[in-house]
Structure 1
Amino acid sequence: MLNFSRRARRGLLATVLLLAAPSLLFAWGNWGHPRINRAAVLALPASLRTFFYNHVDFMVTESVIPDSRKYVINDKAEFPRHFIDLEHFGTGAISEMAQKPADAYAKYDAALLDKSGRLPWYIQEMLAKLTTSMKNQRKDEILFLAADLGHYLGDAHQPLHTSSNHDGQLTGQKGVHAFYESQLPELFGSSYNFKLSEPRLIEDPAAETWAIIARSHAAADTLLAIEKKLATETGADKLYEMTAEGKPRKNVFNSSYHTQAYSSAYHTALNRMIERQMRGAAQATANFWYTAWVNAGKPDLSKLDSEYTTKSNAKNLKNELKLIQKGKLVDFATFTEFPAVTAAAK
């Protein structure tokens, strides 16, 4: 039997889990979530960054696991944590909705929350749990909760995760979900700038979470309107790659490949929206991690690792900090949802 390294086993597990889950659950796919978490780690202040960088491989790998958790271990509670269909909560302003978890669970029926999503409230719960784990200096809990919190903040920055029209199915645009969050980033993400600002303390986590949701929801209508207009102008026969048999080309998740020309046109028309949303997700992740740490009393997490571990990672950290000053992340392999398209684009 082959003796896999721990890193190889984690990578293999992540790939298996991803292949087991339908792509509609994803937000930023397997390309985006790992890079969001990695950029967030590099943005942290030195006193906190060292600890998280010592475990950056875990932070990257764990970033995609929440998308598969429901299907692998049949966790029925997982699915509604990734989205909120705001339209299902009435026509009032977002500010009129229950802002905090306790208020939401008192105001809304559990069946409504399971059907229409719990994302903004779950983010707040995760922040509270991370704060407690940092206060108690429980290493494994800190890493697990922080990595997962980064995932849900990534989801909150994916506009289609805030709308009942999550795959364009209500407007004749079915398939736009994977197109927007996976195919386009895989094609053009190498040009994105992931340099962030220093993280800031979030004084009001509920208000901050809902501000993120509101901005994302506004962007959902924009991205759908742009795609609808462009598709009409382009013509149906030029939207998708076709097989030799004349059928739409599909990836392993049964998502259609859009043509290179149409992908490029849509990405240009979005005017770097995807880059802004991903960078916003990474910045929010750094902000929420930092806030948990401050509210926990700024514990010295570096003592949770051996001096050998920290010294072993010092050179790589230094190199990555140089790269991020240029907005770039170190090149690392992740599962590709649209491999043929990505390869052709290089």
Structure 2
Amino acid sequence: MKKNILKIGFLFGISVFLVSWGSTGHNKISQNTSLSFPVSPSFLQIWSDSLAMNASNADYRKSTDPMEQYNHYIDIDTYPEFIANGTIPSTYDSVVSIHGQTFVTDNGILPWATLTYYDSLVMAFQAGNMHQAMLYASDVGHYVADGHMPMHLCANYDGQLTGQAGIHSRYESTMIGSYVNQITYTGSSLNYIPDVKTYIFEYIYTNQTYVDSVLA
């Protein structure tokens, strides 16, 4: 039973097809998530509209919670070990012990925020609180999507260091807004992820490699 709960918990993240974008993109992602859900349990199939409706809750919280902004990005290329080896320590306590709380927070805590909300989602399922589970599922989907947007994963997040200021919004909002009706998705097969933390860092490392393509 516990394994099934864990498996359901991360379906909302791994079924993300698009990368992370403004409210239009997040809505599109969440609306289409159910296309990858299994037939059972059946409640997943009826969550589509609710997930879409709450897809940008995490962004809205920025106006009331000053710490929320740090959940949406990680300037991973500011870590010396990432430049040297392409990875950083995966546990929050480890990076804080090496670099200090201020450095880690200022450069974003996206992978650990994703993991925290995933754990909360699992606990909501275990408690049988399906409404809260749906809200956490929306947040997990949002943070996973942010982890698939290259400009959420670098210090030059808005092209401000290369004379391309404003590229963040042009890429994730203007472009998607222009082409959203041409985006199609019919679902894909899902696989159980035994190590969620490792999975989160792997897609962050992969998507960070696309920064240069966005800036090109």
Give the alignment's TM-score, normalised by structure 1.
0.54
- Higher relative contact order, chain-length normalized (CA < 8 Å, sep 6+): 2
Q: 2:194 matched to which residue of 1?
A: 203
2:33 matches 1:40: yes
Alignment of 1:185-224 (within 5 A): 185-224=176-215
Larger Rg: 1
Residue 102 of structure 1 deviates from its aligned partner by 4.1
Residue 76 of structure 1 deviates from its aligned partner by 1.7
Structure 1 residues 196 and 107: alpha-carbon distance in aligned structure 2, compared to 1, 3 A threshold: farther
2:33–2:48 CA contact under 8 A, matched in 1: no
Structure 2: segments with no counterpart, 5+ residues: 1-19
Of 36, 52, 55, 1:60 maps to 52
Residue 105 of structure 1 deviates from its aligned partner by 4.2
Alignment of 1:1-346 (within 5 A): 27-48=20-41, 50-71=42-63, 73=64, 75-90=65-80, 91-95=83-87, 97-225=88-216
Residue 92 of structure 1 deviates from its aligned partner by 2.5
Distance of 2:48 and 2:187 partners within structure 1: 17
Distance of 1:197 and 1:120 partners within structure 2: 24
Task: Count how many residue pairs are aligned between Structure 1 and Structure 2.
Answer: 195
Structure 1 residues 187 and 89: alpha-carbon distance in aligned structure 2, compared to 1, 3 A threshold: same
Match of 2:177, SS state, is: helix
Identity across the alignment (%): 27
Distance of 1:51 and 1:103 partners within structure 2: 38
Distance of 1:105 and 1:133 partners within structure 2: 28
Residue 113 of structure 1 deviates from its aligned partner by 2.0
Give the alignment's TM-score, normalised by structure 2.
0.84
Match of 1:201, SS state, is: coil
Distance of 1:198 and 1:59 partners within structure 2: 20
Residue 114 of structure 1 deviates from its aligned partner by 1.9
Structure 1 residues 146 and 180: alpha-carbon distance in aligned structure 2, compared to 1, 3 A threshold: same
Residue 93 of structure 1 deviates from its aligned partner by 2.2
> What is the RMSD of the two structures over their aligned residues, measured on CA atoms?
1.6
1:101–1:124 CA contact under 8 A, matched in 2: no
Residue 106 of structure 1 deviates from its aligned partner by 4.0
